[in-house]
Structure 1
Amino acid sequence: MDTITHTLFGLSLYGATDKEKMDRRTKIAYLFTAVGASQIPDIDVISQAWDTEGLYQMWHRGITHSIFLTPLWALLFYILCLLFFKVKDRRLFFLGWIGAFIHDTSDLFNAWGTGYLEPFSEIRITFGTIPIIDFVFWVIIGGAYVLSRKKSLVNRPFYFRAAWVVIILHVGFQSLQGYYLYQKYSHDYGQVALSAGFIPTTFQVITKHEGNVTIFQDGLFQHKQTLYVLESQEEADLDRLFANNPSAKTLYQWSPFVVIVEDDNKIGVFDPRFYRNGQSFLFESIEH
């Protein structure tokens, strides 16, 4: 998910917490933990500063997004609250744990994927059933905030807790549709990947059979439509590409599958899940 959504998740966790008997310092510690733990796995973006081998694609959403690291993030925020706010409350540990867990788990559902099981597995798990920026989350959380402002402090957590229930239902409904589409296309194509659209219930289904990559628009309330038909040059020799552009090798390993491009001017690979208007956001190449 994007930074704004992760921040909103943290604020929603804070909003769902009963703060009626808390003093100001304790409230600040809870807010710091809820928002901070909801953001901390993305600290891996700083690895761009020392990446000289084209490995950032694997590092981002890698070990820092591991489910096994979530209790360590929680412990970090518990210690920080003890040091800076002088607040000793074991519930802060569990709040931080939930925040980090939601961050890592929510990232599973969009097309980018995450190293959820690192260091025991380098597989990038991706369901592709929620867009990286899902405005439905914003609307749900915004609605909870507006409704809660009209109530007393003691009643406000109810609306944020209800928002979390609606968020889970939304993710579940989207994922059921994605599972149906995946199974539907898997019968006819060797490789299938999903990329959810910004409008709920709409999906791009990316398929690959031998050297042919086809991108479909499909969904529960729309007819199947062919958007792009791409040809991957599977016979191309990628060794020189990987030797001269290490990021291309990383992309090749990171993506569920790639489209290989080769002509008189260049050779490269791109991830078709991010293909829009004749180009992909993730494309690595070298000139001949």
Structure 2
Amino acid sequence: MDSLTHAAIGACIGEIVLGRKLGRHALWLGALAQNLPDVDVATALWLPFSQNLLVHRGITHSFLFGGLVALVLALALSRWKPTKKVGLLPLLLFFLGQIFLHDLLDTCNAYGTGLLLPFSETRFSWHLLYVADPLFTLWPVLAVVGLLSLKKLTLQRRKIWPLLGLLLPIAYLGYAFQNKQTVEQGIQASLAQQKLQVQDHFSTPTPFNNWLWYVVAASDSGYYIGYRSVFEDPAALTAFEFFPRNSHLLTSYPDQQEVQDLKQFAAGYYLAEQRQDTLLFQVLRFGQVLGWRDKNATFAFHYYLQPKLDNTLAVQRGRFQGWDAATMRQLFHRIFQPASTQTTK
């Protein structure tokens, strides 16, 4: 989840839990607490990029880290004059709740969150929301703006704003879950009808919405990739395009540790591509750059193995490429008027 969303949700929680005793301090303390796990971005200053990919949303997003940091912060702030009247235990519970909620919200995206580190390397991704979904973020942001701009609200009315700022995103999460179930039913029917031999698959929302979903199904030698709208005819087949994995292109690469780091980050969903003299490692979990419009589009995460070009923006490189007003119109047309000419029997 993006930092703005975390900050706004944290501020709403701060107002509800501590607003009576701390006033405006509760908003800022909540926003800060909610973003604490993202201190791992500082590791980019010294770690190689392929290792930094694994550190982000790693140990600082674990329950162990959250518990320890919450205890340290509660002990430290219990001596701060504005929070002395709150008490140690309420402060501890406040920080625990904020940090754990941050971690759980991050599991809704495609990146993968190491909740159980260092005891388990498992990364959790439920693929419910795109990392920046305006309809999820809007409500807590509006609530915080309301709280900051309307200074003469009574205590009761001040509670209404943050409650709406939290309840509406919760309702949206439920809506996203329902959308995923709808899409999954169509995907599984499509795979079966087309007799595609796959080992596993995942579906995740395309950028900035929860209506058009990107689908990747893994086979022995590659991946079937397609797109499905929640407004698709339930009997419509999802069209898939096959992409070979090309693992053999990686065997002669000199830095095999770098390759292993990238494979671990990709969670098994990757492919290699040779473009003339350029060797690319592409992670499929983050989708294609406008792939719903161009079936052969570049994958958003593409990492240059050879030659050694700048990879520091590999996660972000393709997210906003080609987006303009015309693209938005085409996206909405694909969502709300899907081509459903072929149906299952």
Deviation of 1:201 (Å) = 2.9
Q: Please state if 1:276 is matched with 2:321.
A: no
Corresponding position of 1:117:
116
Query: For structure 1, which segment, 195-204 or 123-132, has the greater mean C-alpha deviation from structure 2 after superposition?
Result: 195-204
Deviation of 1:122 (Å) = 1.0
Say if 1:33 and 1:92, in contact at 8 Å, map to a contact too: no
CA distance in 2, matches of 1:210, 1:157: 54
Deviation of 1:77 (Å) = 2.3
Corresponding position of 1:65:
61
Give identity over the alignment, percent. Answer: 21
Structural mapping, 1:140-219, within 5 Å: 140-145=139-144, 149=150, 151-182=153-184, 184-185=186-187, 188=191, 189-197=198-206, 198-219=208-229
Structural mapping, 1:1-288, within 5 Å: 1-17=1-17, 19-20=19-20, 22=21, 26-27=22-23, 30-52=26-48, 54-85=50-81, 87-88=83-84, 89=87, 90-145=89-144, 149=150, 151-182=153-184, 184-185=186-187, 188=191, 189-197=198-206, 198-222=208-232, 229-241=241-253, 243-244=254-255, 246-256=257-267, 257-262=269-274, 264-274=276-286, 275-277=288-290, 278-287=297-306
Query: For structure 1, which segment, 91-100 or 162-171, has the greater mean C-alpha deviation from structure 2 after superposition?
Result: 162-171
Aligned pair in 2 of structure 1 residues 137, 151: CA closer, same or farther (>3 Å)?
farther
CA distance in 1, matches of 2:4, 2:15: 16
Say if 2:109 and 2:129, in contact at 8 Å, map to a contact too: yes
CA distance in 1, matches of 2:167, 2:40: 30
Is the partner of 1:122 in helix, strand or coil?
Answer: coil
* TM-score normalised by the chain length of structure 1: 0.85
Deviation of 1:270 (Å) = 0.8
Aligned pair in 2 of structure 1 residues 53, 218: CA closer, same or farther (>3 Å)?
closer
One-letter amino acid of the structure 1 residue matched with residue 4 of structure 2: I
Q: Deviations over 1:220-247 (max 9, x none)?
A: 2235686873522445152333x43744
* TM-score normalised by the chain length of structure 2: 0.72
Say if 1:116 and 1:124, in contact at 8 Å, map to a contact too: yes
Say if 1:53 and 1:246, in contact at 8 Å, map to a contact too: no
CA distance in 1, matches of 2:17, 2:5: 19
Aligned pair in 2 of structure 1 residues 210, 30: CA closer, same or farther (>3 Å)?
same
Aligned pair in 2 of structure 1 residues 207, 46: CA closer, same or farther (>3 Å)?
same
Is the partner of 1:269 in helix, strand or coil?
Answer: strand
One-letter amino acid of the structure 2 residue matched with residue 276 of structure 1: V
One-letter amino acid of the structure 2 residue matched with residue 192 of structure 1: H
Unaligned regions of 5+ residues in structure 1, if any? none
Say if 2:249 and 2:272, in contact at 8 Å, map to a contact too: no
Deviation of 1:106 (Å) = 0.3
Aligned pair in 2 of structure 1 residues 49, 142: CA closer, same or farther (>3 Å)?
closer
Q: Deviations over 1:153-189 (max 9, x none)?
A: 2331133224322222211221233245346535733
One-letter amino acid of the structure 2 residue matched with residue 253 of structure 1: Q
CA distance in 1, matches of 2:139, 2:302: 34
User: Aligned pair count?
Assistant: 283
Aligned pair in 2 of structure 1 residues 34, 225: CA closer, same or farther (>3 Å)?
farther
Aligned pair in 2 of structure 1 residues 155, 105: CA closer, same or farther (>3 Å)?
same
Deviation of 1:152 (Å) = 1.4
One-letter amino acid of the structure 2 residue matched with residue 165 of structure 1: L
CA distance in 1, matches of 2:155, 2:177: 35
CA distance in 1, matches of 2:144, 2:100: 23
One-letter amino acid of the structure 1 residue matched with residue 305 of structure 2: I
Deviation of 1:283 (Å) = 2.0
Unaligned regions of 5+ residues in structure 2, if any? 192-197, 291-296, 308-345
Q: Deviations over 1:183-210 (max 9, x none)?
A: 6535733221222132233211122223
